[in-house]
Chain A
Amino acid sequence: MLKLIVQRLIFSVITLTIVAIVVFAMTDLLPGDWATAYFGKWATEEGLAALRDEYGLDRPATERFAEWFSGALRGDFGMSLSRKKPVVELIRYRLRNSLLLGGLASLVTIPLATLLGITAGLRRDRKADAIISTASIVGMSTPEFVIGTLLIWALSVGLGLFPSMTLGNPDAPIADLLPNVVMPTATLTIASTAYLLRMVRTTTINVLTSEYVEMATLKGIPRSRVIFRHALPNILLPTINIMALMLSGLLGGTFVVEVVFNYPGLGRGLVDAVSFRDVPMIQAIALLWAVMYVFFNLGADLLTTFLDPRLRSLRG
């Protein structure tokens, strides 16, 4: 098990290095740079040259990568080009806000989707299943901005319960953010629950129609024990990896929801950074996401390996 963890950690580091190279190359090799974006149509040769010289934009790419990457390893992502502040400082609060939003959404989504998915699977083709499945299809096929807008219309405009958008700065205290986080959380929860519960429902049905569940029933085991002891572990194991993927997506911030509610998270930050061609900011957020994806997946793999006896003996 320890050997496996070390092995997987080494692979994760290799993966992240490759991601860093790709991120750097993509932001660097695209036509236009921050200098041209800064001046826009008023750009002059001299102005561009001066700016490039100031920020070292005309040095060879490899040199700049080495500098950036070694900085990133130490947690220094350079200065934001548009805000003239260290990137880390700008990102820190945005990360906190995204984690708050994503954390709350996951906290509701995972138990809710599991419960609804299993219920629908157990009551397959009956009334409860029909209601849950229809609702999940509606939830899945409605874009997040529509859900968000509907919530604003109903809860903010109609009932005046929650503010429709966040006006505070990214570094506002959590207590101030709490009323603002409710509606984005609800939007994210609706969208991801709809998706996750369908996965859980399918797995539940597969497990319930499996021969080992039939066999357990024919052994005279009471239904509740069949479900909890024989079926449940086999339903949950395959969903752990899906949950991990979803979790990293939720915690890393989501563009659409953050933009709709003007929520100061990472997604919103990336959208702003892209429109300002604020390259260090883009690179930092992209790399941060990659780190989250890699480590959530690693966590899920290790967890399933630990919980599933088949994987345990396969991977040793």
Chain B
Amino acid sequence: MSQKLLQVEGLTTGYRSRAGHIVQVIRNVSLEMQRGETLGLVGESGCGKTTFGMTLLGHLRPGGQVIAGSVRFEGLDLFGLGPDELATIRGQRVAVIPQSASSALTPTMRVADQIAEVLALHLGLAGSELQERTLELLSQARLPQVDELARRFPHELSGGQLQRVAIAMGLAGRPELLVLDEPTTGLDVTTQAHILDLLREIQVSTGTAMLYISHDMGAIARVCDRLAVMYSGEIVEDGAIEDVFAHPAHPYTRGLLGSVPRLSYSGLPRAMAGRPPAPGEDAVGCAFVPRCAFADETCKTIDPALEPTDRVGKIPHLAQCHHWRRVLASGAAGWMQDLKARTNKAAEQEPLLELAEVDITYAKRGLAAFLARWRGEPEPPPTVSGFSITIHRGETLALVGESGSGKSTIARAIAGLLPPRSGRIRFGKQDLAAEVESRPAEIHHKIQIIFQNPDASLNPRHTVKQLLDAPLRLYFDMDRKGRLARSGTLIEEVRLTPRYLERHPGQMSGGEKQRVAVARAFAAEPDLVLCDEVTSALDVSVQAAVLELLAGLQADRGVAYLFISHDLAVVRAIADRVAVLYQGRICELGPVADIYSPPYHPYTETLLAAAPEPVPGARAQLLAKDVQEADPPARGCCFQRRCPRRIGSICDDETPPGQIAAEGHVIRCHIPLAELRESQVDLISPADIETHGVGADAR
């Protein structure tokens, strides 16, 4: 096919600001896509990825306008078409799969109807044919029991199922181009792995071209052949994905790749300095200059053009950098920080927090509980059961697991926000009361918590100064001057300048807000900080910086962290010891080095196999189904329903024994360790590092 499927030429879009200026969002982007091509588009949030993706459907959000250039789909200028003509292209020739299917599906319509309307409209299907095709699409998206599922409303499906419905909906009109806007963000790793696998399969069987927008290098590596990197509304690098990953020619790509934590690497990822410019912060010269290690005077005055590099291959490798030669020549060395020598801090330190046989339940209380018992409903098994763990002074213990595994529940119990039903919590040398109100005042400041979303945890009407002042006033006897001085020190410790003291949360970026949340926790001079998914809402580049900050503060102050995360790679970078949690029960517990090599608990194995590493062409191993479970099983092993290595009824009936695999490494499984060791392969081969560049490439 000689004609390009998609041709974007010099596209510039923007909106008119309140002051009446035109603010550019997409800046002079030119890009072509062939039929059947899979192109990944990466970049930090706010760099224009989604805006660009939507232009491929001739769509701009309200207020947006095309300032220059064109988007041509098979020669048709999309922004020159009227609404009726556009409607014949959308859904039929170009379709979109949205980021969050739960908010993109109409809540008052049955899922089948939302797919059927596309079929009726674009393919003219009707009657039984329409119904059959709808069910066929749903099964193609690997949804179970489609007859029954089709009649459900969106809120009656799980996140993974909704995403599959959205995929079926996108495929319904048999489009030639599919725009996927972060289709797996917010899903659990195993679900994500299944969806990525499905997308790859669809691509192979239908030959649909895909533009895959994501900030997740690992997900892109699974699906795409080609990669484009967007920064500040411009494409700064474009090439075959293997080539870009192994030989990044733009400093931004290099920085992004370096900031991705990897399973195969146990050190901290390297943070990228600075933040992307907001739309409208136009500067002369290259937009990346403030964050660039390669920049010189030329970069500050002359805007580089996207030009071919000397890398040869099937897909031309382009970079928008004056110094691509130097960037390429510097190789991959120095992407990552030196391996941090990890000592087992636990062995040297006294225990700080001990949880013994803790059960936590969200079961009904009071009248509702009485009524349930009266009706003879069995009491559901507790959300968290038999949870015992010790955190030592100055160590980082990570809690890993998928959503619903009870990670946050445990943090809330330690903080005294959710009293456990039974069990004991010891802090230092004393027993802790279940409710925070009954704990002695001098304990309060020693346990602090940092939440996932700083937008929700920082009062938007307070300045940073007020936010930091609150814990100082509450816990310490300090005068105003002293507190102000302390706030100043704290804000510098989280590497912000004292200017930030006067700002409100709304005037800061996500990463800056999370730093303020960290500073607020440390204002209390805690011994233990509960970090609940603290980097999950952040861009990888910012995540790396926050991880670095947390590690630095720990080294200086000797605090202990309970680090809650669903991301195994992040955990590997920061934790000393790891507890793998499924349905509120610990499956495996041990030093970080032991967790990431065999023998694994079958659940750990499932998670590691599904985790998307930024390695092109790699495919996840789908060991277990991604079903969502409601209540934990009442007896036996917590993982019995999904376990790929289930050995029989013993798994359903008996609580698995805690087998000691090494010092401090416990695996709760009925399968003997020797057998596990023998049948499992190392899922994280250091070979990845060699073939894909880290530290190996010296050109």
Contacts and interface: CB of A to CB of B under 8 A. Distances in A.
B98 A221 contact: no
Contacts of B83: 223
Interface of B: 54, 57, 59, 61-62, 83-84, 86-92, 95-96, 98, 100, 103-109, 117-118, 121-122, 153, 155-156, 169, 173
B55 to A, nearest CB: 12
12 contacts: A210-B103, A211-B103, A214-B104, A215-B96, A217-B59, A219-B173, A220-B122, A220-B173, A222-B121, A225-B117, A309-B107, A310-B107
A233 B109 CA distance: 9
Contacts of A234: 106-108
B57 to A, nearest CB: 5
Contact of A237 (B103, B108, B109): B108
Given A211-B103, A233-B108, A234-B106, A221 B57 contact: no
Given A215-B104, A225-B117, A313 B156 contact: yes
B98 A215 contact: yes
B155 A313 contact: yes
Contacts of B122: 220
Nearest to A212: B106
A221 B100 contact: no
A222 B106 contact: no
Interface of A: 209-223, 225, 229-230, 233-234, 237, 308-310, 313
Contacts of A233: 108
A223 B86 CA distance: 11
Among A214, A225, A237, A308, the one with the most B-chain Cβ atoms within 10 Å of its Cβ is A214
Contacts of B118: 219-221
Among A215, A221, A225, A313, the one with the most B-chain Cβ atoms within 10 Å of its Cβ is A215
Contacts of B87: 220-222
A222 B57 CA distance: 15
B114 to A, nearest CB: 8
Given A209-B62, A309-B153, A313-B155, A220 B103 contact: no
Given A209-B62, A210-B103, A212-B106, 8 more contacts: A214-B104, A215-B104, A220-B89, A220-B90, A220-B118, A225-B117, A230-B106, A313-B153
Where chain A touches its partner, the secondary structure class is helix
A310 B103 CA distance: 13
6 cross-chain pairs, A with B, having the tightest CB-CB distances, nearest first: A220-B91, A220-B90, A309-B153, A219-B91, A215-B104, A233-B108
Given A218-B59, A220-B173, A308 B92 contact: no
Nearest to A225: B117
Contacts of A209: 62
A218 B91 contact: yes
Nearest to B118: A219
A218 B103 contact: no
B104 A212 contact: yes
Contact of A309 (B92, B100, B108): B108
A308 B108 CA distance: 7
Nearest to A232: B108
A220 B121 contact: yes
Nearest to B103: A211
A215 B183 CA distance: 14
A2 B185 CA distance: 40
Contacts of A223: 83
A228 to B, nearest CB: 12
Contacts of A218: 54, 57, 59, 90-91, 95-96
A212 B59 CA distance: 15
A225 B118 CA distance: 12
B18 to A, nearest CB: 14
Contacts of B156: 309, 313
A221 B104 contact: no
